Amino acid sequence: MSKRIVLEFDHVTKVYTTGELSVHALNDISLAVEEQEVVVVMGPSGAGKTTFLTIAGALMSPTSGRVIISGTDISVLNEGQLPAVRQKMIGFVFQSFNLFESLTALQNVELVMATRGITGEGARERALALLSAVGMEGRQHNVPKKLSGGEKQRVAIARALANNPDLVLADEPTANLDSKRGREIMEVLRMVAKELGKTVVAVTHDLRVRELADRVLWLEDGSFRDISDEPGARGGDHPPDPMAQ
Amino acid sequence: MTLLTRQNLLSEKVGFLISVAGIALSVFLIAFLLSLYRGWDEGVGRFVERVDADVWVAREGTSDFLNAASILPTDMGRDLGRVDGVSEAFPVIVRPMNVTADGKEIGAQLVGYDPESGVGGPHKHESGAETPGQDEVIIDTAFGKQNGVGIGDSIEAAGRSLEIVGESSGGDFVFTQTMFVSLETARDMLGMDDWNTFYLLQLDGGAGADAVIASIEQDFEATGAFESDEFAEATRNRIMKSVIPILIVVLALAFVVGVAITGLTIYNSTVEKAREYGILKAIGFTNRYLFRLVMEQSVVTCMLGFVLGAGGTILATRFVSDFVPQFVTLLRWQDLLMVLGTTLIMSVIAAVLPVRRIANVDPVSVFSG
Could you read off the pLDDT of B23-79 as tens digits, one per residue? 898 899 899 989 988 888 888 888 888 899 999 999 998 888 887 788 999 999 999
Average confidence (pLDDT) over B160-176: 91
Size of interface A-B (CB pairs under 8 A): 74
Contact B368 A86 (CB under 8 A): no
For residue B341, the distance in angstroms to the closest alpha carbon of chain A comes to 30
Asked if B158 and B190 touch (Cβ cutoff 8 Å), the reply is yes
- β-bridge mates for residue B224, sequence order: B58
Which of B10, B279, B285 is opposite residue A115, by nearest beta carbon? B285
Nearest CA in chain B to A55: B364
pLDDT (0 to 100) of residue B368: 64
Give ipTM to 2 decimals: 0.84
pLDDT (0 to 100) of residue B162: 95
Which residues does chain A have within 8 Å of residue B282's beta carbon, measured at their own beta carbons? 57, 59, 86, 92
Alpha carbons within 13 angstroms on the beta-carbon side of residue B244 total 7
Name which of A36-50, A177-191, B178-192, B313-327 the model is least confident about: B313-327
- How far from the centroid of its chain's Cα atoms is residue B350's Cα? 30
Supply the pTM of this predicted model.
0.74
For residue B309, the distance in angstroms to the closest alpha carbon of chain A comes to 29
Digit-coded pLDDT (tens) for B70-116: 899 999 999 999 999 999 999 999 999 999 987 889 999 999 999 99
Contact B369 A53 (CB under 8 A): yes
Contact A115 B279 (CB under 8 A): no
Nearest CA in chain A to B11: A102
Percent of chain B surpassing pLDDT 70 = 99
Mean pLDDT by runs of 10 across the 245 residues of chain A is 88 92 91 95 88 93 94 90 92 91 92 84 93 92 94 95 94 88 91 94 85 90 84 53 45
Contact B281 A83 (CB under 8 A): yes
Asked if A126 and A204 touch (Cβ cutoff 8 Å), the reply is no
Contacts of B265 (CB under 8 A, 6+ apart): B15, B16, B18, B19, B22, B301
Residue B185 pLDDT > 90, yes or no?
yes
Q: Which of A90, A103, A93, A8 is nearest to A57 (CA)?
A: A90
Q: Which of A155, A116, A115 is nearest to A132 (CA)?
A: A155
Residue B256 pLDDT > 70, yes or no?
yes
Residue A147 main-chain phi, psi, to 5 deg: -110, 150
Q: What's the length of chain A?
A: 245
For residue A94, the distance in angstroms to the closest alpha carbon of chain B comes to 7
Residue type, A14: K
B 276-305: CB under 8 A from A = 276, 279, 281-286, 289
Q: Which of B283, B240, B269 is nearest to B358 (CA)?
A: B269
The answer, for B360 touching chain A at a CB cutoff of 8 Å, is no
Asked if B106 and B99 touch (Cβ cutoff 8 Å), the reply is yes
Which residues does chain B have within 8 Å of residue A57's beta carbon, measured at their own beta carbons? 282
Q: In sequence order, what DSSP letters do the residues of B313-366 get, joined into one string?
A: HHHHHHHHHHH-TT------HHHHHHHHHHHHHHHHHHHHHHHHHHHT--GGGG
Find the angle CA(B139)-CA(B143)-CA(B147) to the nearest 5 degrees. 120
Q: Which of B87, B89, B86 is nearest to B120 (CA)?
A: B89
Which residues does chain B have within 8 Å of residue A155's beta carbon, measured at their own beta carbons? none
- The Cα–Cα gap between A225 and A218 comes to 5
Nearest CA in chain B to A60: B364
Digit-coded pLDDT (tens) for B342-364: 888 888 888 888 888 888 888 88
Average confidence (pLDDT) over B244-271: 83
pLDDT (0 to 100) of residue B173: 85
pLDDT (0 to 100) of residue A101: 87
Q: Could you list the beta-strand ranges (E) of chain A.
A: 5-18, 21-34, 38-42, 64-69, 72-73, 90-93, 167-171, 199-203, 215-220, 223-226
- The Cα–Cα gap between A231 and A244 comes to 10
